Amino acid sequence: MKIRDRLSLQFTLIFAILLFVVLASIYISTEKNRKSAFYQRLHDRALNIAELFLAEDNLSSEKFSEVQKKYPLYLPEEVVAIYDDKDNPVFIKQNTYHWPANIIDQVRTRKSIQYSTVKTQVAGIYYADNSGNFAVLISAEDKYGYIRMKQLFWAMTLTFFISLFIMFFLGRLFARIALSPITRVINEVKIIRSTSLNKRLPTKVSKDEINELVVTFNNLLEHLEQSFEAQKSFVNNASHELRTPLTSIIGDIEVTFLSERTNDEYKDTLQRVLIEMEKLNELINSLFELAQANIDVNEFEEIRMDELIWQVKDEWMHKVAGSNIELNYNLPQDPQKFTIIGNRYLLYIALGNIVKNAIKFSDNKTVTCSIHCEGNNTIISIKDRGIGIPREDISKIFQPFYRGTNSTGYNGIGIGLSLTEKIFRLHDISIHVNPDYTNGTEFIITIPVINGEK
């Protein structure tokens, strides 16, 4: 069901409930007033009859004349009886109905009673006279009142359904008007394709929910456009990086096949091919590690950061001859304060990439790694004394395949820091660069300690 129809039905349902409560309250109140008014008429009629038969000698001629004028004004289906102290009917000829003795006793005890049967209402009064004490009982049917209540019931029923019908279509109209901005947004979104992610939805000055939705969607489009551009750039760069060693290998082999070569020349060719193949292998491994960074969080485990940084240091000191890595620990006794939840393999790669670059670009000068705790964070600092990072390159070093302008003459393909940044983002780890521009670089890694699941 569409939101417009659902809103219309909900609006109609709420209105129906409110209207039903109002109409029911009016009907119940009117019925209560009808009964009360008819009981009053019964009491007045009973008093009139008692005065007519019992109070002639106690009333003035004018007053008794008024009583006589009222007497013929009988009620529909009227039944009247006057009982003496011995429950015998007097003055009025007894019809086929005789009130029960308990009802007559109630009149004497309570002086006045009233109650209802299926069709009639009954009233009784106790009348004390100089000729004796009498119980006057009268019953009648409020036919005209019932007719008016029936007319009121059908008028209210008709009003109820006509009002619901009108409110349903008014609700649809208001829902359409209220949802028209969303309909416009939907129509504008439908025309956006992967080739037109530069388009944006028009925004307004107002700060309503629809405008917030449009702004949020525009931000999403901005991120998608950047992602598509980054992916396009990545594919182009990856293609270029893969093509370069392959072209060099193919060229060397084709030139070698043009004529007979000496053994030394064949060895030179194979050596160049081997170098290019190692570059190609490094590139493929880097691309594989980049793909592995999308690992599922279910593979996370508890990791002590002091042990991990020691493993990274030990690995690269064995890999790079002549390298010197200095480790400084300033940690509390409780290992939980520097234990995090993460993927050991990915974090090992991320830290290893930074340490590898620090060794490579500092020409085997001492690399200092420090680890300490600040509040709920573990801080790792990796500082080298190398060539530094030019100011204009700081904002680009985490882009895939980007290499600094001063990195000429150093091996590499520009994936390491991009992969590191992606792995850190997966673990909610932040990385900050403190460059000396000309005399080394320091990477500050802030790792939130997670006590529980990631």
If you write DSSP's letter for every residue of 67-81 in order, what string do you get? HHHHTT-PPTT-EEE
pLDDT band at 222 (very low <50, low <70, confident <90, very high): confident
243/235 Cα distance (integer angstroms): 12
Mean of all residue pLDDT scores within the chain: 82
132-140, strands of its sheet edge to edge: 79-83, 132-140, 121-129, 112-116
* Residues 131-134: contacts with CB under 8 Å, at least 24 apart: 131/54, 132/84, 132/85, 133/84, 133/85, 133/108, 134/50, 134/54, 134/82, 134/83, 134/84, 134/90
What is the spatial distance between Cα 192 and Cα 188, in angstroms, rounded to a whole number? 7
Residue given tokens 């670009």 in the structure block: 361
pTM above 0.75, yes or no: no
Helical packing angle, 209-257 and 263-292, nearest 10°: 170
CATH code 1.10.287.130 region(s) in the chain: 209-290
Residue 230: predicted pLDDT = 64
Structure confidence by residue, pLDDT tens digits, 422-439: 888 888 899 998 877 667
Q: Phi, psi at residue 180, to the nearest 5°? A: -60, -35
CA distances from 325 to 68, 93, 312 (A): 127, 128, 10
For 3-146, CATH number?
3.30.450
**β-strands 325-330, 367-374: how paired?**
parallel
User: Which of the four pLDDT bands, split at 50, 70 and 90, describes residue 446?
Assistant: very high
pLDDT at 19 over 90: yes
Q: Where in the chain is the domain with CATH 3.30.450?
A: 3-146
297-448: CATH superfamily = Histidine kinase-like ATPase, C-terminal domain (3.30.565.10)
Contact (CB, 8 A) for 287 and 293: no
pLDDT > 70 fraction of the chain, expressed in percent and rounded? 87
Outline which parts of the chain fall under CATH 3.30.565.10: 297-448
By C-alpha distance, which of 422, 418, 425 is closest to 396? 418
* 209-290: CATH number: 1.10.287.130
- Say if CB 327 and CB 313 are below 8 A apart: yes
Residue that wins the pLDDT comparison between 322 and 73: 322
